[in-house]
Structure 1
Amino acid sequence: MLNKKILLTTSAAMLASVVVGASVWASIEKNDFTPTELVNGHKVTTHVNNHESFQERNSPELYKSMMEKWERAKEIAINDIMSRDAAIMKEIWTIVPSTDIDLELTNHLSKEESNSFKDALFSDERKNNISVGDYMPAVLLNEKKDRAILTWLKGTGETVVIDIKSKKDESGNRIWYIDGKAKIKK
């Protein structure tokens, strides 16, 4: 008798899983991942992350300390790039903790552009230059949100600067890319 109950319960659970799975799959196929809801007043798609910001989830002391480090890195990064591109000084740059780039930028892009930006952000230039003991990176984002600078302070006191630019491809879609090699400044 006990075996029959277990068999019936297991069968019912498996059938429910199949029905729920088929429903989810059908809704995915039907919606094709198009925006379905609003988060913070914006339509969201499957690539959108919604979480507390770096400032909200950390102590005021840690946030202040990191902002001071990022301000130092920002000054070094802007001065470095300015030596090659004088137009950079005319821009207004916002410091975005790298953990919040989704909240500030990629959540508001198409899935394709978001992936393009993330490919640039997590490029080999970053992987090859970040080390244990380095501080968390920040992204300097210009006001038009069409250029970014990835920067962080190394544990050695040096500053890493990676220039990320965007351009339109032949289809009119914006793609992001690393301009040059990472620079390490003292």
Structure 2
Amino acid sequence: MEDSLNTLSHKDHSSFIAAYYSNERRTMLENGDVMPALLLHPDHTKAILFWEKLDGTYAIITLESQINANNKSEWNVSHSWITKQPSST
């Protein structure tokens, strides 16, 4: 993750970190969950964060970079869910 994030601009990096540590992640992550993984799209406009939960389900959070009202790039959580099996998004 760190190597991939080094290619983002400082503002994009800060925005990405804020989205990564979002309220959705905090509420879904529990003691006993397996360490999360991150898939970052090659063009750095989308990322999927996922991990296996202690009960065998999977938590999945999709992050997307979008242009905000100030015409600046900003990362946000676009989807979050828990599923019995991981699937493509």
TM-score using structure 1 length: 0.43
Q: 1:145, CA displacement in angstroms?
A: 1.6
Task: Tell which deviates more after alignment, 162-171 or 111-120.
Answer: 162-171
Matches within 5 A, 1:128-167: 128-167=27-66
- CA offsets per residue over residues 45-97 of structure 1, 9 Å max, x none? xxxxxxxxxxxxxxxxxxxxxxxxxxxxxxxxxxxxxxxxxxxxxxxxxxxxx
Match of 1:175 in 2: 74
Q: 1:135, CA displacement in angstroms?
A: 0.5
Answer whether contact 1:140 1:148 (CA < 8 A) is retained.
yes
Which structure features the higher share of strand residues? 2
Match of 2:87 in 1: none
Match of 1:103 in 2: 3
Matches within 5 A, 1:59-98: none
Q: Which runs of 5+ in 1 are unaligned?
A: 1-100
In 2, Cα distance between equivalents of 1:112 and 1:144: 16
In 1, Cα distance between equivalents of 2:7 and 2:69: 22
Answer whether contact 1:152 1:160 (CA < 8 A) is retained.
yes
In 2, Cα distance between equivalents of 1:144 and 1:102: 16
The Cα RMSD (Å) is: 1.4
Q: 1:111, CA displacement in angstroms?
A: 1.6
Match of 2:19 in 1: 120
Where 2:6 maps in the other structure, the secondary structure is: helix
| Over 4 Å off, 4+ runs | none
The structure showing larger relative contact order (alpha-carbon pairs under 8 Å, at least 6 residues apart) is 2
Give the paired residue count: 84
Larger radius of gyration, structure 1 or 2? 1
